[in-house]
Structure 1
Amino acid sequence: MTGEVAVIGAGMHPWGKWGRSFVEYGTKAARAALTDAGLDWPDIASVVGANTVRCGYPGQVAGATFARALGWQGARVTSVYAACASGARAIDTARAQILSGMVDTVLVVGADAAPKGFFAPSGGDRPDDPDWLRFRVLGATNPAYFALWARRRMALCGDTPEDFAAVKVKNAAAGAANRHARYRSPVTAEEVAASPVVADPLRLLDICATSDGAAALVLSSVDFARRHGVADPVRIRAVSSVAPVYPRTALDLPDIATDSAPDALVPDGFRPSIARAAYEEAGIGPEDLSLAEVYDLSTALELEWYEDLGLCAAGEGAKLLREGATALGGRIPVNPSGGLASFGEAVPAQAIAQVCELAQQLRGRAGDRQVAGARVGITANQGLFGHGSSVIAVR
C-alpha cells in the first residue's frame, strides 16, 4: 500500500440546470467542504481543481480559478484534466502532495456548467479528437454509443429492456432521498417503458442528462486529521487510474472509441483492470465492499460495472440486480447516491461527488440512503481516451 489520506470535509452544490457560472457552483461546494472539515480557507495549503474544457480559459485552469474566487492566500495551485476521470485524478494529485509531505491539507474542487442536450466536442473541428471522429465519421452520439453496449449485453448476457428499466427504478428511489440530486422523484418501470426511445433499446429514462453542479473535498494527512480532533477519519486507501492495454489489432483501429473497446480486444478488460489495480493497492477484494458508486451513463452500463468490479461473474449483472443485491438494503448497494441517473453529468465534479457519497456513507451521515454498517466503499468511472478511475475509501 502506498499510504492513506483522510477525508475531513465533503461539500456539494445541488445539481441541475441553474444557468450560472461553474465558478459559483464550485466556490459554494468548496465552502461547504471547508465548513464540514471545521477549517477556514487560510488553513488550506494546496488547491487542486478538476478542469472543465467547456467553460473557457477559467475552466482550463480550474485550480487557480477557485483559489482566486475564494481569495488569494498563497496556497499551491494545480489544475488537472482527464475527461470523466478528472475528479479522481484531482484526488490522486492531492493525495500525492500529502503523502510526499509537501502539504498537510488540500482542497479538491470540480464544477461544471454543462450545455443543454448531449455533449458534443468543444472547440470546433478537431479531427484528432475521438469524440469528434465518432460524431462525424460514425454519426454516433453518446446515446448511440450507449445503445451499442446495451445491444451487446442483450446478445451476450440475455439482458432485457426490463432489466435496464429496473436499474433506473433503483437509482431513482435512492436519488429521491438525496438533497443534492437533480431528479428527486421515484420512477416506475412503466414510466421508463413509456419514455421516448432515444437509441434503441435505450429510452430517455435509461440515459443520464447533462447538468450543472459541483463537488469538493478537504483531504489531509491522517496525523493532521487526528490532531484536528478526528480520531477515526474516513481514509482514501487507493486511487487507480490505469490506462488500457490493447493488442496490435486494436491499436490499428481508428482512434474513435478504443477507451471502451470490447473485452475481446482488451486483455483482461479495461474496466476490470481499473478495479483490479485499486483492489491490489488497497489490499482488499470485492467481498470486502459495503457499497459502490459507479458511472451509470446508461442503465445498461451500470450492469456492466457489477461484473467489472467483481461483484458477480461475467454475464450475471442482471441476475445480481434481480436478486435485489444492489438496492438499498441489499448485499452490496450500488449507487446509493442515486448515481448519474439522478444527478446527470457534470464532468469534472462527478468522480469527486462519488467520493463525497462514500465519505457520507462511511461516516453514517447518509440519512434515508444509509447503508447499514458501511466500512468500505469503491467508486468507478471511465472517460474518453483511455481515462479510467477507481477510488477505495475505508473507515
Structure 2
Amino acid sequence: MHPWGKWGRSFIEYGTAAARAALADAGIGWADVRSVVGAGTIRCGYPGHVAGAAFAQALGWQGTRVTSVYAACASGAQAIDTARAQILSGIAEVVLVVGADSAPKGFFAPAGGDRPDDPDWLRFRLLGATNPAYFALYARRRMALHGDTPDDFARVKVKNAAAGALNPYARYRTAVSAGQVAASPVVADPLRLLDVCATSDGGAALVLSSMEYARRHGAGDPVRIRAVSTVTPVYPRTEPGLPDIATDSAVAAGPPAPGFRESIARAAYEEAALGPEDLSLAEVYDLSTALELQWYEDLGLCPEGEGAGLLRDGATALGGRIPVNASGGLASFGEAVPAQAIAQVCELTWQLRGTAGERQVTGARAGMTANQGLFGHGSAVVAVS
C-alpha cells in the first residue's frame, strides 16, 4: 500500500508505489507480470479512466495486457474479480491489481455532468441528499427500529480509531474518545464530523496468481481468494424504459428479501462454501459509524437489530470474537475510492499471514470484505489461509 493522506500528488504515483511494494512482497519482477488490471478513478481525468494502461506505462512498457475497471466504490473488488477470471481462464498466470486515487476535499461532486437516469444523481439533485445526509437517514432508521443511540455510533469510531492508531498506512493514527466524537460538529443529524469518513489520497495493490505459479515461486501455502461477490440490487423495475415507481398500489411492490448488502454477503458465502460462523475477521465499509452496525447484521455476524449489542459486548474490537475493521476502517483511512476494496484485501492478507503486528487477530483463518457504492455497485471478497 501507499499510505493514505492528503498528499496532493498524482494517483499514478501512489499506485505505482503500491505496485512495486506488492511485487517485492511477491518476490517477482515487473517483467514477470503478464496482465495489469487497474481500478479506475473518474475524478483523475483521462489517465484515471485508463488506469490499467496508466500504471503499466509508469512501471515501464513491457508488453503486458491491460484492463481498466470502474465500479465506484467496488472498483477494486471488480478489478480483483477480473484478474481472477483471467487466471482461472488461463489467459495469465500472474496478474497485478492496482487502485489509487487523488480525491478532492469534501463531498464527492458527481462526475460526468447531469445523469437523470442515475438514482444517485436523482438523490443528490432532487432530494439534496448528499452522502452524509443519506448516512444520517440510515442512522435515524436504526435509532427508530432498534434503539441505537449516538453513543453507540461513537463507540464504532472509538473502536476503529484505536485500531487505526496501530496501522502505519492509516491517515488518522490517533485514538479518540466518545467525548471527542460528541464534541465534534454536527454534519447531518444525528451524525457528527467524527462519525463520517473523510476523502483521501492513497493506493493499494495485489499480486494474484494461480496456485501452481505461487508454489513454483516458493510461496508455500499462500492466502487464497475463495469468493468475490459483485451482485447488484433487485428492485421492482426489471426492464429498461419502465417507470421506476408503480402508481397503482395494487401492483406496487417493495424490494424483495434479502436486502442489497445482505445479498452481497450471501453470494460470497455461497461461493466460498463458508458461513459467518467461519470468519475470523471482517473489513467493512464504514462510510459512517451507523453503517458499520448495519454491516454486522447484513454479514450475519448477529441477528437483525443486534449490531449495537455486538459492539457493546466488545465482540467486534481487537481481541473480540469477530474483529471488524482491524485495519482502522475508513474511519482511519478515508475514501480513496479505487484503492479501498483492494486495501481491505491487503489487510485480510496480512492478518491471515499473521504479520499484522499489534493489530493481529489471533489465529485468523478466514476473512471477508464488504462495501457498497454508487449506481448499485457492491462487493464482498472472502480470503482464507
Normalised by the shorter chain, which TM-score bucket? over 0.9
Correspondent of 1:285 among 267, 270, 275: 275
Contact 2:50-2:68 at 8 Å conserved across structures? yes
Question: 1:148 is matched with which residue?
Answer: 137
Q: Quick check: 1:380 aligned with 2:370?
A: yes
Deviation at 1:252, TM superposition (A): 4.3
Matches within 5 A, 1:76-225: 76-225=65-214
Q: Quick check: 1:358 aligned with 2:343?
A: no
Deviation at 1:63, TM superposition (A): 0.3
Question: 1:47 is matched with which residue?
Answer: 36
Question: 1:260 is matched with which residue?
Answer: none
Contact 1:120-1:131 at 8 Å conserved across structures? no
1:25-52 Cα offsets, whole Å, 9 max, x none, are 1010100101111111001010000000
Question: 1:229 is matched with which residue?
Answer: 218
Deviation at 1:69, TM superposition (A): 0.4
Question: 2:24 is matched with which residue?
Answer: 35
Question: 2:7 is matched with which residue?
Answer: 18
Contact 2:187-2:193 at 8 Å conserved across structures? yes
Structure-2 separation of matches of 1:248 and 1:315: 29
Contact 1:246-1:267 at 8 Å conserved across structures? no
Matches within 5 A, 1:232-247: 232-247=221-236
- In structure 1, runs of 5+ residues without a counterpart are 1-11, 255-262
Deviation at 1:245, TM superposition (A): 1.5
Structure-1 separation of matches of 2:78 and 2:187: 32
Number of aligned residue pairs: 376
Contact 2:120-2:375 at 8 Å conserved across structures? no
Deviation at 1:129, TM superposition (A): 3.3
Deviation at 1:248, TM superposition (A): 4.6
Matches within 5 A, 1:330-349: 330-349=320-339
Structure-2 separation of matches of 1:225 and 1:178: 27
Change (3 A) 1:44 1:281: same
Contact 2:236-2:254 at 8 Å conserved across structures? no
1:175-210 Cα offsets, whole Å, 9 max, x none, are 000000000000000000000000000000000000
Question: 1:274 is matched with which residue?
Answer: 264
Deviation at 1:249, TM superposition (A): 10
RMSD over aligned CA atoms reads 1.5
Deviation at 1:141, TM superposition (A): 1.1
Structure-1 separation of matches of 2:260 and 2:124: 23
**Amino acid paired to 1:75:** T
Structure-2 separation of matches of 1:300 and 1:120: 23
Contact 2:262-2:299 at 8 Å conserved across structures? yes
**Amino acid paired to 1:294:** V
Deviation at 1:116, TM superposition (A): 0.8
**Amino acid paired to 2:69:** V
1:58-100 Cα offsets, whole Å, 9 max, x none, are 0001000000000000111000011110000000000000011
Structure-1 separation of matches of 2:114 and 2:267: 36
Correspondent of 2:306 among 295, 316, 323: 316
SS class of match (2:382): strand
Structure-2 separation of matches of 1:171 and 1:266: 32
Q: Quick check: 1:56 aligned with 2:45?
A: yes
Change (3 A) 1:80 1:373: same
**Amino acid paired to 1:368:** E
SS class of match (2:159): helix
Deviation at 1:264, TM superposition (A): 5.9
**Amino acid paired to 1:102:** I
SS class of match (1:265): coil
Structure-2 separation of matches of 1:174 and 1:36: 23
Identity across the alignment (%):
81
Deviation at 1:101, TM superposition (A): 1.2
Structure-2 separation of matches of 1:287 and 1:134: 36
Q: Quick check: 1:392 aligned with 2:361?
A: no
SS class of match (1:379): strand
**With structure 2 as the length reference, what TM-score do the two structures score?**
0.95
